[in-house]
Amino acid sequence: MKTFLLTVAACGLLLTGTAKEPLYRDPTAPLAERVDDLLSRMILREKLGQLSQPLYRSDDTTLDARITRGEVGSLVVAHGSALAPAERDRLQRIAVERSRLGIPVLFGFDVIHGYRTLFPIPLGIAASWNPELAEASARIAASEASACGIDLTFSPMVDVARDPRWGRISEGSGEDVLLNAVFGAALVRGYQGDDPSKQGRIGACVKHFVGYGAALGGRDYQFTELSERALRETYLPPFKACVDAGAVSVMSAFNDISGTPASANALTLDRILRKEWGFDGFVLSDWKAVTELQEHGIAADGAEAAVKALTAGVDMEMTSDLYLTTLEQSVREKRLPAALVDRAVRAVLRVKFRLGLFDRPFRSHPEPDRMLLTPEARRTARQLAAESMVLLKNDGVLPLSPDLRSITVTGEWAVSRDLYGWWVGMGDGRDAVTVWDGIRSQAGRRTDVRLMSQSRSRRSDVAVVCVGENGYLFGENNNRSDIRLPYGQEQLIRELKEQGNKVVVVVFNGRPLDLSAVVPYADALLIAWHPGTEAGNAVADLLFGKRSPSGRLPVSFPKSVGQLPLFYSDRTSGRPGNDRYVSMDGQPLFPFGYGLGYTTFEYSELRLSKSVAAPGEQVAAEITVTNTGGMKAKETVQLYLHDKAASFTRPARMLIDFRKVELAPGESRTVSFDVTPRQLAVLDAAFRPVVEAGEFEISAGGTPSELHSRILTLKR
């Protein structure tokens, strides 16, 4: 009897419990039902609160009250400032326990190439041509960031960028569509995993949608003139790849696209992103991009800017507060349908549920420091940094012999800790291994290693000159009209050579540089980008031959700033080969895909499974690569396509696939690629992909000047 009564009482409690608990709080309920249930309980002001992402400021005395009132959907923690994990959880407690509906806040931060452990800048990551390693770096970044209470990162940046004057070229994967797509998707997978609500994962916000990298003259924020064909062929595919990889959020860009700013662009945000691609996460504006619609000149006041942005498909507003302050009235006055507000709120709530914020709002690790800079993180950072570096010239001085009598290490970057680039997350320069430390730790016991800080007269067997551009010469709005090495560094290199040294130049850069004045004086030239925490160890690994350099350029290095923009996948003109200037040709100093190592590779002829096929039929291309040198090394096999006659002009060459393989001396590997209808397709007049009959040149190899080609004929 007693047991029966207890059971009845327990059931009663349970029943009353469930009856009281709203559906949206039930973690077992379907996501769409949770969203609808919550939305039905919200008043307009709370809805607009969810669409607001103010800037977090530690001295903000109004924040607690605003969160309590439900006016803060998300917070952006600015570059260079910090939000302590305990403070993050305190704010979250206010949202969850004191606001009327208990909707958690989403905490966003720029985790661009690492949080505390810094990996190479994204352009360097792409130079590794190793997406698995890129994914691993993002997984580590997510685990560090999430341990410190971050839920969303404003990464990856997949803006195809073809003008190195633009400072933000450092933040993406360079000039190529496929590299941006592959690396973007790898980073999304690394941040989010299969399920972004899991411990150690964070959401990814892909940016900057879209065309931002085409800024006129490389001047940041400048307008872009992009046809729908250019958007669809070049600028959109990397975003599509990230959306397909599950990215929960997309950031709308600052730039104007042929007359309609990206943050009020219904074609890109609504028709393409939502309707064609089925994206159901939320779109976040870039920093004040909604208010800037006034400066763009398409909105007379803030209220109009807010209506235009929201209507086009910008769901959440970063740092400005026009949604919160103007949209209530716009809805009341019927200038904005309430259904559009609901559409945006749904998108934001969906992501909050997807990230598990309702079910696990307090996610900072109890001892976050234990999660940072782990040995695994450092190992991955070292490998990725080494694989990101690109050897552009080597007359045989590298790898350095352990028997060298003397090495002089010099140049500003020899002891510099400015090795992280523009976005540094919560990186601390004191964690970084300098080049000087890296070289000292690996030099042979008999080698005299000296740092030459002042005197330039010292002669040694080898001078390692560490030069570059600092983290404030690239990144947001750090555009350069001159892309040569700054601060008299060219002269230092020349002098060292003239003094009789063998000169190894190591460059720490955030963009392709014009190195024409350096190449003649460099016996070896290594592009190190800004390599992150393990910089010095990675440089030393390569200089002393612990690893063979395996990076390949993800972007062309020009001979002169006058050639810009310059990229390998030009459309064919009516006069091929005529792309020249009076004073020089139109070829780069070092082309896309180029990079040397310490061994040699030989390639077989390219074989196609069929040389004649029907459109839509699958074809395989395979090539055998052999390590004919004396050292184990990695090689990237690159596969290119040229469509010889199509309904629209096509690039002279475009990368359609690649594979990085590691081979021991004497070892061969046959690498097989599927040549898919998607790769062969051209967009028709209505921008639908179609595979047309005709001839296609397929080429493969390890270096752009030595590709092996075959013709594939498609016949109806």
Distance CA 199, CA 363 (A): 8
- What binding mask, one character per residue, do residues 443-482 give for ligand NOJ by CB under 6 A, x or -? ---------------------------------x------
CB of 64 or CB of 476, closer to ligand NOJ: 476
Which residue from 47, 162, 189, 207 is in contact with ligand NOJ, where contact means CB under 6 A? 207
**Reduced DSSP (H G I as helix, E B as strand, rest coil) percent helix, strand, coil of the chain, to 5:** 35, 20, 45
Nearest Cα neighbor of 21 from 358, 473, 457, 444 is: 358
Distance CA 267, CA 272 (A): 6
Residue pointed to by tokens 């730790």: 441
Closest approach, Cβ 219 to ligand NOJ, in A, equals: 14
Distance CA 557, CA 566 (A): 8
Which residue from 110, 144, 541, 643 is in contact with ligand NOJ, where contact means CB under 6 A? 110
Residues forming beta bridges with residue 627, ordered by sequence position? 601
Neighbouring C-beta atoms of residue 405, cutoff 10 Å = 12
Closest approach, Cβ 158 to ligand NOJ, in A, equals: 12
Both tokens assigned to 283: 């779109």
Neighbouring C-beta atoms of residue 322, cutoff 10 Å = 27
Kindly give the pairing relationship between strand 448-451 and strand 406-410. Answer: parallel
Both tokens assigned to 462: 């080898």
CA 400 remoteness from chain centre: 33
The DSSP line for 22-46 is -GGG-TTS-HHHHHHHHHHH--HHH
Both tokens assigned to 149: 């209470």
Strand, coil or helix: what is 564?
coil
Distance CA 576, CA 668 (A): 36
Contacts of 4 (CB under 8 A, 6+ apart): none
- Asked if residue 399 has a cis previous peptide bond (ω within 30° of 0), the answer is yes
Closest approach, Cβ 689 to ligand NOJ, in A, equals: 30
Closest approach, Cβ 347 to ligand NOJ, in A, equals: 19
CB of 263 or CB of 563, closer to ligand NOJ: 263
CB of 323 or CB of 592, closer to ligand NOJ: 323
Which residue from 154, 166, 353, 529 is in contact with ligand NOJ, where contact means CB under 6 A? 154
* Distance set, CA 613 to CA 361, 620, 678 (Å): 55, 11, 15
Neighbouring C-beta atoms of residue 258, cutoff 10 Å = 15
The verdict on whether 674 is a catalytic residue reads no
Closest approach, Cβ 256 to ligand NOJ, in A, equals: 15
CB of 53 or CB of 489, closer to ligand NOJ: 53
- What binding mask, one character per residue, do residues 64-83 give for ligand NOJ by CB under 6 A, x or -? ------------x--x----
Residue 175 binds ligand NOJ (CB under 6 A): no
CB of 286 or CB of 292, closer to ligand NOJ: 286
CB of 476 or CB of 697, closer to ligand NOJ: 476
Closest approach, Cβ 79 to ligand NOJ, in A, equals: 5
Contact of 465 with 504, CB cutoff 8 Å: yes
Closest approach, Cβ 156 to ligand NOJ, in A, equals: 11
Contacts of 611 (CB under 8 A, 6+ apart): 710, 711, 712, 713
Nearest Cα neighbor of 438 from 420, 460, 464 is: 464
CB of 270 or CB of 476, closer to ligand NOJ: 476
Neighbouring C-beta atoms of residue 119, cutoff 10 Å = 34
CB of 154 or CB of 279, closer to ligand NOJ: 154
Active-site position among 286, 315, 514, 541 = 286
CB of 26 or CB of 476, closer to ligand NOJ: 476
Closest residue by beta carbon to ligand NOJ: 154
Distance CA 94, CA 102 (A): 8
Closest approach, Cβ 111 to ligand NOJ, in A, equals: 10
* Distance set, CA 479 to CA 143, 471, 482, 509 (Å): 32, 12, 9, 13
CB of 287 or CB of 353, closer to ligand NOJ: 287
Q: What are phi and psi of 479, to 5 degrees?
A: -95, 150
Size of the site for ligand NOJ (CB under 6 A): 8
Residue 287 binds ligand NOJ (CB under 6 A): yes
Contacts of 62 (CB under 8 A, 6+ apart): none
Q: What are phi and psi of 144, to 5 degrees?
A: -70, -45
Which residue from 286, 292, 321, 541 is in contact with ligand NOJ, where contact means CB under 6 A? 286
CB of 69 or CB of 288, closer to ligand NOJ: 288
Kindly give the pairing relationship between strand 524-527 and strand 668-675. Answer: unpaired
Contact of 592 with 554, CB cutoff 8 Å: yes
Extract the runs of DSSP E, i.e. beta strands, from 435-517: 448-451, 462-468, 502-508
- For ligand NOJ, the binding residues in 475-514 under the rule CB under 6 A are 476
- What binding mask, one character per residue, do residues 259-278 give for ligand NOJ by CB under 6 A, x or -? --------------------
Residue 282 binds ligand NOJ (CB under 6 A): no
Residues forming beta bridges with residue 301, ordered by sequence position? none
Nearest Cα neighbor of 74 from 229, 338, 285 is: 285
CB of 70 or CB of 213, closer to ligand NOJ: 213
Distance CA 468, CA 528 (A): 9
Q: Which residues are catalytic, by number?
A: 286
Which stretches of the chain bind ligand NOJ, using CB under 6 A?
76, 79, 110, 154, 207, 286-287, 476
